[in-house]
Each structure stands twice: as C-alpha cells, then as structure tokens.
Amino acid sequence: MTVGVYPGSFDPFTVGHLDVLTNAAGLFDLVYVAVLHNVDKRPTFTVQERMEMIRNVLAAEKLDNVRCGTFDGLLVEYAKSVQATHIVRGLRATSDFEYEFQIDAVNRHLDNSLRTVYFMASPGHSFLSSSNVKEIGLWGGSIKGLVPEINEDIIRERLARK
C-alpha cells in the first residue's frame, strides 16, 4: 500500500491545499494530512479547529482515502509512525522553491528513505496562501472561493472575532 503524508500549518486550509490534496489522494492509496501543532508559530486557529475544518472538507469532498492527524516534533518521525514513503507538498511560484528545497534537504538528512513529491498549484491558486485569507478576512473582505465552501462561515466568523 502506498502512503503519503501532506504536512502543513493549514492555518486555515485553503482551496489551494484542497487542490494539492485531491491530486495526492489520486496518487496514493492512503494520505494523511498532518497538521503541525507548533505553538511557536502562533497559529490563528487552534489545532482542533484546523483539524475539524479539514475533516469537514474530507467528508464534503468524499476523500475517503484521506485521514487527518496532528504532529509535533519532526515530520520524518510522524511519517514513519504512519508508514508513509512519501511527503506531499504544493508549489505555487519560484519563491516557494527555496523554502521547499531547504525542508527537503533537512528531511533527507534525517531520513534518506523518504522522498517528497510536489504538485504545482493550479494557475488560479498561485497567489493564494493562508496568510492572504486571514488578512482578507480580518479586514472584512470576501474569502469566497479561497477556502472550501463548507468552512467559509466558520472562518469568516472566527476572523471577525479577532
């Protein structure tokens, strides 16, 4: 069985993330979305909120071969714990490359049996990031089409309370 891990902060999960995840779900038998639980990053949404929203999406999109988990510490250890052979990441623009290049080098140093596969963002998502969504939402702009519809109200209301 082929198992992939799609890690990230997902603060919050966007339609760009969904695009990558849908591609990964078509490639692997099983995919784990691994939500980083890292207080140092000062996320806007709690890990429980982020996981709940991702689970809403999995149910709505009928992504039956995808599970959602959380991890703390090294990604390679989490990948090992779920017997994953591959890490999944998305690439939007060349500006992502340097960052991903570094992450890949560190992960290879830690576990050279793991490989990362990358999906290019759909052209319409190349500008999209969780940070953009938060900035737009905090200032009362429309986040329609930027986050999965099922989570739109939750995210809008939550950002309005900040």
Half-sphere exposure of 22 (CA within 13 A, CB side): 16
Q: Of the candidates 4, 5, 6, 8, which one interacts with ligand PNS according to CB under 6 A?
A: 8
Task: Give the residue among 64, 7, 3 at the shortest CA–CA distance from 28.
Answer: 3
Non-local (6+) Cβ contacts of 32 within 8 A are: 3, 4, 5, 6, 66, 67, 68, 69, 82, 84
Check binding of 107 to ligand PNS (CB under 6 A).
yes
Stretch that binds ligand PNS, among 19-27, 102-110, 111-119, 135-143 (CB under 6 A): 102-110
Q: Which of 44/107 has CB closer to ligand PNS? A: 107
Rounded to an integer, what distance in angstroms lies between the CA atom of residue 2 and that of residue 105?
22
Check binding of 9 to ligand PNS (CB under 6 A).
yes
Stretch that binds ligand PNS, among 7-15, 51-59, 111-119, 153-161 (CB under 6 A): 7-15
122 flagged as catalytic? no
Q: Which of 107/151 has CB closer to ligand PNS? A: 107
Non-local (6+) Cβ contacts of 14 within 8 A are: 125, 128, 129, 130, 133, 146, 147, 148
Check binding of 93 to ligand PNS (CB under 6 A).
no
Residues paired with 90 in a beta bridge: 119
92 flagged as catalytic? yes
41 flagged as catalytic? yes
Binding site for ligand PNS (CB under 6 A): 7-9, 36, 74-75, 103, 106-107
